[in-house]
Chain A
Amino acid sequence: MSKTKRLLAGPYLLWMIAFIIIPLVMIAIYGFTDKTGAFTWENVIAMVRPEHLKALWLSLKLAFLCTLVCLLLAYPLALILKAGGVKKGSFVVMIFILPMWMNFLLRTYAWLNLLDDGGILCTLLENLGIARFSIVGTNTAIVLGMVYNFLPFMVLPLYNVMCKIDDNVINAAKDLGANGFQVFWRVILPLSFPGIVSGITMVFVPSMTTFVISDLLGARKIMLIGNIIEQEFSTAANWNLGSGLSMVLMIFILISMAALNHYDKTGEGTSF
Chain B
Amino acid sequence: MKVKKFLSQIYMTLIFIFMYAPIVTLIVFSFNENKGRRWSGFSLKWYQEMFESEMIMSALWNTIIIAFISATAATLLGVIACIGINSLKGKARNAYLAINNIPMLNSELVTGLAMMLLFIAFGISFGYTTIIVAHTTFCIPYVVLSVLPKLRQTDQRVYEAALDLGAKPIYAFFKVVLPDLLPGIVSGYLLAFTMSLDDFIITHFTKGAGINTLSTLIYSEVRKGIKPSMNALSTIMFFSVLLLLGIGTYGPKWKAKLRKNEK
Contact = CB atoms under 8 A, between A and B. Distances in A.
A13 B93 CA distance: 12
Interface stretch (A46-54, A97-105, A169-177): A97-105
Interface string A3-30: 0011111111101100111111011001
B245 to A, nearest CB: 7
Interface in A80-133: 80, 83, 85, 90-91, 93-95, 97-114, 116, 118-120
Contacts of A101: 194, 197-198, 234, 237-238, 241
25 contacts: A6-B88, A7-B84, A11-B81, A12-B96, A15-B140, A23-B117, A23-B118, A77-B15, A91-B12, A95-B19, A100-B194, A100-B195, A101-B198, A102-B23, A102-B26, A102-B238, A103-B218, A105-B219, A107-B23, A202-B104, A209-B108, A211-B201, A253-B105, A257-B105, A272-B149
Given A15-B140, A80-B11, A105 B200 contact: yes
Contacts of B241: 98, 101
Contacts of A271: 104, 145
A9 B23 contact: no
Contacts of A236: none
B3 interface: no
A250 B181 CA distance: 34
B84 A114 contact: no
Interface of A: 1-2, 5-13, 15-16, 19-24, 26-27, 30, 73, 76-77, 80, 83, 85, 90-91, 93-95, 97-114, 116, 118-120, 148, 151, 201-202, 205-206, 208-212, 215-216, 226, 229-230, 233, 239, 242-243, 246, 249-250, 253-254, 257, 269, 271-272
Contacts of B103: 20
B205 interface: yes
B218 A105 contact: yes
A107 B26 contact: yes
A246 B238 contact: no
B109 A209 contact: yes
A106 B26 contact: yes
A112 B36 CA distance: 11
A29 B78 CA distance: 29
Given A101-B238, A113-B29, A272-B149, 20 more contacts: A8-B80, A12-B84, A19-B115, A20-B102, A85-B12, A98-B245, A104-B198, A105-B219, A106-B218, A106-B231, A114-B21, A118-B38, A151-B15, A210-B109, A211-B201, A215-B222, A246-B110, A250-B106, A254-B105, A269-B145
Interface string B97-125: 10111111111111101111110010000
Interface core residue of A5, A15, A101, A108 (most chain B CB under 10 Å): A101
Say what secondary structure dominates the interface of chain B: helix
Given A12-B78, A80-B11, A253-B107, A26 B101 contact: no
B22 A148 contact: yes
Contacts of A209: 107-110
Contacts of A23: 111, 114-115, 117-118
Given A15-B137, A76-B11, A148 B146 contact: no
B97 A269 contact: yes
Contact of B219 (A90, A212, A249): A212
B117 A27 contact: yes
Given A6-B87, A9-B84, A202-B104, A102 B15 contact: no
Nearest to A122: B37
B247 to A, nearest CB: 13
Interface in B170-193: 187-188, 190-191
Contacts of B66: none
Interface string B8-30: 11011001101111110110010
